[in-house]
């Protein structure tokens, strides 16, 4: 059987029921497989209601973009589609709502968004992380809420210092370590960011 065909798909801000169900499944899988990659836990999100999952996708100052894998059946009669990765990009309004602190060097004068990315282990190393981050960069450039259209924006990520695959991916795309100041760096994590031109 041939390998899957991959695509990148942005979940609409008025999601259908199938979006909500698949998003919940993917997010819970990610929390179970790589708990250290998120500022949340599997147990906490397992108890979320359908309406809470829907509300997550409905926010206007946020993008949820998924990677899909399409497999053809062995008889080549039908296709199966699976969600295998995602990026979430949060704009400044929603970050403020969550009480999220970004490095002071970024707060001063520049507009910013924050991202988190995850790919299912069976589909890593196929360029999906890179594709999702490019899509997240496009959203950040275009997002009205992130800042006036003429101003440049910074896309940020907080990463565990020992997460070599992630740091290598971000560096290869042009992300740089952020000049850190007091209180922004923990023993285990560091920040990276990229200024985006239009
Ligand atoms: C980090 C992660 C998103 C990378 O996704 P991916 O789809 O495997 O990455 P890609 O295939 O797009 O790789 C792009 C580049 O990243 C780097 N990279 C990816 N995996 C790597 C690895 N295991 N070791 C070293 N570099 C790696 C390489 O530079 C690669 O470019 P190349 O293929 O030209 O060598 C994925 O490993 C993941 O989901 N990890 C668990 C969750 C996580 O850590 N998220 C980040 C939290 S900050």
pLDDT digits (tens, 9 = 90+) for 157-181: 989 989 999 999 999 999 998 866 5
CA of 161 to the centre of ligand 1 (A): 14
Instruction: Give the model confidence (pLDDT) of 15-63 as tens digits.
Output: 999 999 999 999 999 999 999 888 899 999 999 999 999 999 998 889 9
Question: What is the mean pLDDT of the segment spanning 64-91?
Answer: 91
**CA proximity to 88, closest of 63, 71, 106:** 63
Mean pLDDT of the chain: 88
* Whole-Å CA distances, 97 to 77, 93, 101, 121, 190: 48, 6, 11, 32, 22
Rounded CA gap, 111 and 145, in Å? 10
List the residue whose alpha carbon is closest to atom 19 of ligand 1: 165
If you measure from the C-alpha of residue 173 to the centroid of ligand 1, how many angstroms do you get, rounded to a whole number?
A: 11
| DSSP letter, residue 43 | H
Q: How far is the CA of 51 from the centre of ligand 1 (A)?
A: 32
Q: Mean pLDDT over residues 184-197, rounded? A: 79
Structural domains present in the chain? 5-196 (3.40.630.30)
pLDDT at 64 over 90: yes
Residue 188 Cβ inside 6 Å of ligand 1? The answer reads: no
């Amino acid at each position: 059987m041939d390998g899957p065909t991959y695509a990148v798909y942005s979940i609409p801000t008025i999601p259908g029921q199938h979006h909500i169900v698949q998003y919940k499944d993917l997010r819970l899988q990610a929390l179970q497989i790589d708990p250290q990659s998120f500022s949340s836990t599997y147990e906490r999100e397992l108890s979320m209601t359908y309406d809470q999952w829907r509300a997550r996708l409905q926010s206007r100052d946020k993008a949820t973009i998924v990677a899909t894998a399409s497999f053809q059946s062995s008889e080549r009669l039908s296709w199966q589609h699976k969600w295998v990765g995602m990026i979430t990009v949060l704009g400044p309004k929603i970050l403020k709502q969550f009480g999220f602190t970004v490095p002071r060097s970024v707060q001063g004068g520049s507009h910013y968004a924050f991202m988190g990315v995850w790919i299912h282990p069976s589909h890593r190393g196929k360029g999906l992380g890179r594709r999702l981050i490019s899509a997240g960069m496009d959203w950040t450039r275009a997002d009205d809420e992130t800042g006036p259209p003429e101003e440049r924006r910074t896309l940020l990520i907080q990463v565990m210092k020992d997460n070599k695959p992630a740091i290598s991916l971000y560096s290869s795309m042009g992300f740089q370590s952020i000049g850190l100041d007091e209180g922004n760096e923990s023993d285990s994590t560091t920040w990276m960011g990229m200024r985006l031109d239009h």
